[in-house]
Amino acid sequence: METPVSLRQIMTVAEMKAADAAATAAGTPATTLMERAGKGAAEAIRQRWSRRSVVIWCGPGDNGGDGYVVARHLRRRGWPVRVEALAPPASPSCRWAAERWRGEVHPLNPAVSPADLHVDALFGAGLSRPLDGPAEELARAAEGLSACIVAIDTPSGVHGDTGQSLGGAAFRAALTVTFHRRKPAHVLAHGRAACGAVEVVDIGLSDTGAGDLVENDPSLWGARFPWPSDDAHKHARGRLVVVSGEAWSTGAARLSARAGLRIGAGVVTLLSPPGALAVNAAHLEAVMLAPFDTDAELAALADRAAAAVIGPAAGVGEATARNLTALAGTGAALVVDADALTSFAHAPDELFARLDRDDVLTPHPGEFERLFPGLLKASPERIAAAREAARRAGTIVLLKGPDTVIAAPDGRTAVNLNGSPWLATAGSGDVLAGFIAGLAAQGMESFDAACAGAWIHAECASLHGPGLIAEDLPGLAPVVLKRLWDQRNHPLP
């Protein structure tokens, strides 16, 4: 069965607390939720590892309570379990769980007691200040041991909403077992690295519906992917135009154009300054070519296009700003990248005033800083930054990174989890712009197109792996598309 979008939802710590409070108000005791959480975590551990010695580090709050439940379930299955407590139970549910653990409770050994596996149940969502004392000492002593650490909810020391350490030391784990839904810490790059694999255990909280913040994968947009109809012809599959730079900087736009064609746009035309025509013509086959001299000519050529890419090696300055203004008047969905973003660094509001809600900005963090000075730094994490940027710009903002965030002005936000380090190569962003615009050209709604483009782009990179260069990416798209095609009526992974 296809994964429901609601399961791809990412909840903040406060939203999770509210869901928890709603469940208890509706009659489910908090201890029942804790029992399900701890039992689910023990099952996740048993699925991954055979029986072995385990030390469980328990904190004073409900995260520690989960630890006592894990201890009871593992011991029931015959695992040799040692429980170590940082402090006596301080919350009612933790006391309840600790009373049901019939074994000994040792004081926390900050030097790491030997065992095959360690469970970090010190702090989760309730961590409010940096680790200190024995917990901090233990986090430092456990630094090289992440391969045999399981974190309950979040690795202790990591903030659930930001994925950042609260200051000082934090744990790192091979597996993090969380409950009901992922939290931002499980998806943002820094937190993800600390979490290792993330498993989400159902603890019977009611479905809160698909929220605004979700994980980006095909369950989000697959049903609306613009596959060609049986009677499709090239003009019906969407027209895309891409603006080329001058003669000595044309490759980036060609990468975008090729990517747009590969992702399915029926007709792709590179619009080229006269001086770059010859070099573009020498390097194009299925992509068409047309010259423009003025912004008015550009607008006329783009008039029937459903989507346009402007920015890749377009040149920073007045001319590109004028060309963007011309394209903005055509009604095509714009993907604004690279030099087109930087051309408005002196006056970002002028750019925003020209754009519509179905246009897409694709900045990397440096370009983001030029358009939204200080916003990244002032935001708790990049999800909040991208959301605020989309609101200010009134358009879709795709903030690139290992954890690319795509935010729409209406609040819809998706985080890419399949990011690949192989994408850190020149020109990969040009291909991404082409993928997104190619999908938008086929009529896919722009937020869906940005999400699908980013996901496919990362899948292509992972397929190739080491040695990837941007030129390889469009040629890998057919493999990813074929998988999506084969899965369209079948389960998604």
Ligand X SMILES: NC(=O)C1=CN([C@@H]2O[C@H](COP(=O)(O)OP(=O)(O)OC[C@H]3O[C@@H](n4cnc5c(N)ncnc54)[C@H](OP(=O)(O)O)[C@@H]3O)[C@@H](O)[C@H]2O)[C@@H](O)CC1
- Known binding-site residues for (6S)-NADPHX equal 62-66, 124-130, 153, 252, 364, 430
Q: Give me the torsion for CA of 18, 20, 26, 30, rounded to 10°.
A: -140
Please say whether the beta carbons of 361 and 401 come within 8 A.
Answer: no
Given 119, 152, 268, 314, the residue binding K ion (CB under 5 A)? 152
Instruction: Give how far Cα 255 sits from Cα of 117, 161, 298, 300, 306, Å.
Output: 48, 37, 20, 23, 19
Q: Among 82-90, 151-159, 199-207, 292-300, which window interacts with K ion (CB under 5 A)?
A: 151-159
Q: Which does 151 bind (CB under 5 to 8 A by kind): K ion, ligand X, none?
A: K ion
Residues that contact K ion, how many (by CB under 5 A): 5
- Tell me the residue type at 180: H
Q: Does 442 bind K ion (CB under 5 A)?
A: no
Q: Does 269 bind K ion (CB under 5 A)?
A: no
Q: Which does 191 bind (CB under 5 to 8 A by kind): ligand X, K ion, none?
A: none
Residue 486, C-beta contacts closer than 8 angstroms, at least 6 positions apart:
none
CA triple 479-412-310, angle to 5 deg: 60
* Smallest gap from residue 139 Cβ to ligand X (A): 11
Instruction: State the first-to-last Cα distance of the chain, in angstroms, to the nearest integer.
Output: 10
* Smallest gap from residue 67 Cβ to ligand X (A): 8
Residue 51, C-beta contacts closer than 8 angstroms, at least 6 positions apart:
77, 78, 79
Nearer to ligand X, 131 or 243 (CB): 131
Q: How many C-alpha atoms does 219 have within 13 Å on its Cβ side? A: 15
Nearer to K ion, 82 or 354 (CB): 82
* Smallest gap from residue 84 Cβ to ligand X (A): 15
Q: Does 120 bind K ion (CB under 5 A)?
A: yes
Q: Does 152 bind ligand X (CB under 6 A)?
A: yes
Nearer to ligand X, 105 or 463 (CB): 105
Q: Which does 120 bind (CB under 5 to 8 A by kind): K ion, ligand X, none?
A: K ion
Given 146, 156, 330, 446, the residue binding K ion (CB under 5 A)? 156
The runs of H, that is alpha helices, within 308-445 are 318-328, 338-342, 348-354, 365-371, 375-378, 382-393, 428-441
Nearer to ligand X, 29 or 103 (CB): 29
Q: Does 178 bind K ion (CB under 5 A)?
A: no
Q: Does 134 bind ligand X (CB under 6 A)?
A: no
Tokens read off for 153: 């909810």
Q: H helices then E strands: how many in the chain? A: 20, 17
Going by the annotation, the residues of the binding site for AMP are 400-404, 429
Query: Tell me, what DSSP letter sits at residue 165?
Result: B
Going by the annotation, the residues of the binding site for K(+) are 63, 120, 156
Nearer to ligand X, 62 or 295 (CB): 62
Given 11, 151, 407, 432, the residue binding K ion (CB under 5 A)? 151
Q: Does 110 bind ligand X (CB under 6 A)?
A: no
Collapsing DSSP to helix, strand or coil, 386 comes out as: helix
Site for ligand X in 179-218 (CB under 6 A): 179, 203
CA of residue 474 relative to chain centroid, distance: 21
Residues that contact ligand X, how many (by CB under 6 A): 29
Q: Does 139 bind K ion (CB under 5 A)?
A: no
Give the torsion sign (CA, 303, 305, 306, 311): negative
Q: Which does 47 bind (CB under 5 to 8 A by kind): K ion, ligand X, none?
A: none
Q: Does 123 bind ligand X (CB under 6 A)?
A: yes
* Smallest gap from residue 102 Cβ to K ion (A): 23
* Smallest gap from residue 139 Cβ to K ion (A): 11
Q: What are phi and psi of 70, to 5 degrees?
A: -60, -45
Q: Give me the torsion for CA of 9, 458, 428, 370, rounded to 10°.
A: 20
Q: What are phi and psi of 200, to 5 degrees?
A: -110, 120
Nearer to ligand X, 156 or 420 (CB): 156
Nearer to ligand X, 158 or 324 (CB): 158
State the DSSP H helix or E strand holding residue 198, giving kind and residue range, or none if neither: strand 197-201
Reported in sequence order, the residue ranges of 267-362 that DSSP labels E, i.e. its strands, are: 267-272, 288-291, 307-310, 333-336, 360-361
Q: Among 126-134, 311-319, 408-416, 473-481, which window interacts with ligand X (CB under 6 A)?
A: 126-134
The DSSP secondary structure of 2-69, one letter per residue, reads PPPGGGGBB--HHHHHHHHHHHHHTT--HHHHHHHHHHHHHHHHHHHS-S--EEEEE-SSHHHHHHHH
Site for ligand X in 7-66 (CB under 6 A): 16-17, 20, 33-34, 37, 59-66
* Smallest gap from residue 94 Cβ to ligand X (A): 7
Q: Which does 255 bind (CB under 5 to 8 A by kind): ligand X, K ion, none?
A: none
Nearer to ligand X, 176 or 442 (CB): 176
Q: Does 96 bind ligand X (CB under 6 A)?
A: no
C-beta atoms surrounding 385 within 10 Å: 22
Binding site for K ion (CB under 5 A): 120, 124, 151-152, 156
Binding site for ligand X (CB under 6 A): 16-17, 20, 33-34, 37, 59-66, 90-91, 123-131, 152-153, 179, 203
